[in-house]
Each structure stands twice: as structure tokens, then as C-alpha cells.
Amino acid sequence: MSSKPFIHWLGAGLSSGPGIAALAQRRGNVVLWNRTEEKARALIKTMGVDEGVSIEVLDFDALAERVKPGDVVVSMLPGAFHVQVAKLALAAGAHMVTTSYVSPEMMALDSEARAKGLVVLNEVGVDPGIDHLFAHVLVDAARGAGQLGDGHAVSFESHCGGVPAVANDFRYKFSWAPLGVLTALRNPARSIKNGAELRTEKAWTGVGDIDVRGETFEVYPNRDCLGYVAEYGLTEVADLQLFVRGTLRLPGWKTAWGDIFSAVETGTDDSLTALSEKLWNDYSYGAEEEDRVVMYVSLSSKSANGETWKASLCLDETGSGWQTAMARTVSLTAQVAIGAVLDGRLDPGVQAATRDPVEAKRWLKLLVDDGIKVMGENVSL
């Protein structure tokens, strides 16, 4: 048995392959736990990974026996399992990583994690994940340029979306069960527009346009954005004119989805489940069909005398097979974060990504080394 920590990766789903392959090559000691051994072996074979990774059938009792102090447990399971996995890791003296949003139940484990000197790291995929890294780098650049003080009107926006690389009539395709996308449309959102709080009760009522490097997309506010004002260090801004974190879609999406919005607004849970199944049959990705992930984050300011300053970061990725754009941006970010945990660069406790702009730049440079193209305006890594 190796004396190095083990990385227990739970789940061999669509967003796992590139991260597992990178960790097997760079770190070794990866254990891929999956409900079915066949699916895990098929993934490993497809990736062509010969060393650095072993396979186990996922059983939580067996996992609890195997995890040792200093190991990292990575949950790529459905969100309902994340807290259970975190509790198992903490009980074993191990760290835990997930790409999902921090939940209140997860945050309740913060004191235990801190007391044990363990990291419970969340929001290290693409969105949430890379968007946080972009935001902290941009805010640091703006602060360094003196753009966040009194007399400056500041605007921040962050948009991300997974879309088909080749537009179809529906302006969208699904990487996994559509039910999550449908139910998310019911969520209200809070943002800041024209210096005042804006509440969007239904996603489709808040759709606008945005230009990303000469290409027009549709966007709408996503969830409660206002908590990220403090997360991104913008509470010092006296005149915050715009603050929004949004979902990005291909142009024409709002029109193409008109019937879907009506079904979401009036449908029952059972009818949405049936609709989800139909959409999966009609608009899921083919085996080698290309997907695309686009992210655009910008921060601008305008001084009292009219001088303007703006910086932005953008990525635009395509992929297919086991290396889809979504799989690469999600799981490669997770493997960079796992490296930061193993190397002891993060403080103990329950947290989201990293707030340190120096560490954020380090992660982004590693992602660039992995082939993720990051494009910047008026900011460098």
C-alpha cells in the first residue's frame, strides 16, 4: 500500500473522465468508486488510462472502511449525497471536494471541519467554479487600479452556459436529465440593476442580450446573486450599478422554449417528469456530438469625470465523447482544486473555491496548461 494519500472519486458520470485521467497521471492513487463496476471500467478503457487508478463498487460502508486520514473524497454524485459523503470523510479524518453549491446543511459542518483541520471544498467546477476564479481575479485587478473607491460607479456581470456547438431548432441540448433544468426555471432570482435590487420571479421574464467577443447570446439572472457581492469583496463599493450572475443561452432560445415555459409555469411534478423524459429523447447529445461551454465575466467602472475602466475574462470550449466541454471544464477544475487541498494551500473549513486572487490565478494557469483557453481583456494571469 502506498503511503501517499488516496483520492476517492465517487461517480463515473459524464463530467468525471478528464479530471480522473489528469489525477491518475499526476498524482496516482485514484480510486474510482461507482455503483456499477462495468460503467467504471468502460470509462477507464475509453480514457486509455493504464496506471494510477483502481476501481471499486460504491458501497458507503466499504468506502468508510477504506478512507484514511489525509485522503480526499470527491463527490460527483447527485447533490443529495454530498452531505453524507462529507460526514463520512470528516469522520475518517479526510478532506472532501464537490463541484456543487454549498448548502446550509454542508455549511453546518464548518466548525467540525475547522476543529479537525480538514478542508470541505465546494463549487470547484465550471459554474460554480471557474466563474469564482474569474471574479476574484477581476476584483483584485480593479482594486489595484483604484476603481472600487468612492466616486466610481461599478458594474459586474458573470454569465455561463452549456449549449450545443452547432445550433439546433431548440437552441439547446441536454447533457443529463432535463428535469433539473426545468425545475431551475421556477427559481426566482435577485440581482442589482441601475443601482437597485431587481427580483426576477420567472427566468423567462428576465431574458436580455449580451455580446461576448462579437457574438450575441441571451442571458437571464440565476438564483440569488446578492450573496456574492460579499463573496467577491464588493461590499466596499458605494455605487454598485450592476451585479448579476446569469445563465447564458444561444440567441432565439426564449422563442424556441415558449411552450416549455408555459409547461413549467402550470405543470405538476408528474407532468414535468414526463416532459423531461420527452426532452431527453428529443434533445440529448449523441455519442460524438460536440457541446460548447461559454463563460464571460466582466467588471467595469466609471469615475465622476466620465473616465471608464473595464476588464473581462472569457472561455469558450467545445468537445465531444468523454472529453466534452462540460466534462473538461468541470472535472479539470476539480482536479486542480484537489491538488490545492493535497498540497495544503487551503485553510480548513467548509468553503467555496478560493477567495485568494493569487491562488485563483494559479488554478487558472494550471487549467490553461490543461488546454482550457482563457481570454482576457485588460487583465493578465
Q: Looking at the structure, do residues 257 and 318 belong to the same domain, yes or no?
A: yes
CATH number for the domain harbouring residue 372:
3.30.360.10
- Convert the pLDDT of each residue in 276-298 to its tens digit: 999 999 999 998 899 999 999 99
Domain-embedded: residue 202: yes
- Convert the pLDDT of each residue in 10-69 to its tens digit: 999 989 999 999 999 999 999 999 999 999 999 999 999 989 999 999 999 999 999 999
Cα three-residue angle 307-309-315, rounded to 5 degrees: 160
- Of 66, 92, 122, which closes a domain? 122
Q: Looking at the structure, do residues 104 and 229 belong to the same domain, yes or no?
A: no
Tell me the three-class secondary structure of 270-314, residue by residue. Answer: HHHHHHHHHHHHHHECCCCCCEEEEEEEEEEEEECCCCEEEEEEE
Cell numbers of 303, please? 469615475
Domain-embedded: residue 1: no
Q: What was the pLDDT predicted at 214? A: 95
Q: What was the pLDDT predicted at 290? A: 97
Q: Looking at the structure, do residues 260 and 368 belong to the same domain, yes or no?
A: yes
Q: Looking at the structure, do residues 110 and 223 belong to the same domain, yes or no?
A: no
Domain-embedded: residue 341: no
Domain-embedded: residue 280: yes
Q: Is 127 a catalytic residue?
A: yes
CA gap 350, 83 in Å, rounded:
11
**Residues contacting residue 364 through CB under 8 Å, at least 6 positions apart:** 130, 133, 134, 137, 374, 381
Rg of the Cα atoms in the chain: 21
Q: Looking at the structure, do residues 78 and 157 belong to the same domain, yes or no?
A: no
CATH number for the domain harbouring residue 18:
3.40.50.720
Confidence of residue 71 (pLDDT cuts 50, 70, 90): very high
- Of 78, 103, 122, which closes a domain? 122
Domain span at 88: 7-122
CA gap 34, 176 in Å, rounded:
17
Q: Looking at the structure, do residues 232 and 102 belong to the same domain, yes or no?
A: no
- Convert the pLDDT of each residue in 45-60 to its tens digit: 999 998 999 999 999 9
Q: Looking at the structure, do residues 265 and 230 belong to the same domain, yes or no?
A: yes
**Is residue 48 helix, strand or coil?**
coil
DSSP state, residue 65: H
- pLDDT at 80 > cutoff 50: yes
Q: What was the pLDDT predicted at 2? A: 56
Q: In the chain, pLDDT over 90 holds for what percent of residues?
A: 97
- Convert the pLDDT of each residue in 230-239 to its tens digit: 999 999 999 9
Domain-embedded: residue 351: no
- pLDDT at 1 > cutoff 60: no
- pLDDT at 342 > cutoff 60: yes
- Of 87, 122, 157, which closes a domain? 122
Number of folded domains in the chain? Answer: 2
- Convert the pLDDT of each residue in 212-271 to its tens digit: 999 999 999 999 999 999 999 999 999 999 999 999 999 999 999 999 999 999 999 999
Q: How many CB atoms lie within 10 A of CB 208?
A: 13
Q: Looking at the structure, do residues 363 and 240 belong to the same domain, yes or no?
A: yes
Q: Looking at the structure, do residues 139 and 81 belong to the same domain, yes or no?
A: no
Domain-embedded: residue 229: yes
Q: Looking at the structure, do residues 197 and 177 belong to the same domain, yes or no?
A: yes
Mean pLDDT of 75-99: 97
User: pLDDT averaged over the chain?
Assistant: 96
Q: Looking at the structure, do residues 57 and 177 belong to the same domain, yes or no?
A: no
Domain-embedded: residue 233: yes
Confidence of residue 175 (pLDDT cuts 50, 70, 90): confident
Q: Annotated catalytic residue: which of 127, 209, 224, 370?
A: 127
CA gap 177, 180 in Å, rounded:
7
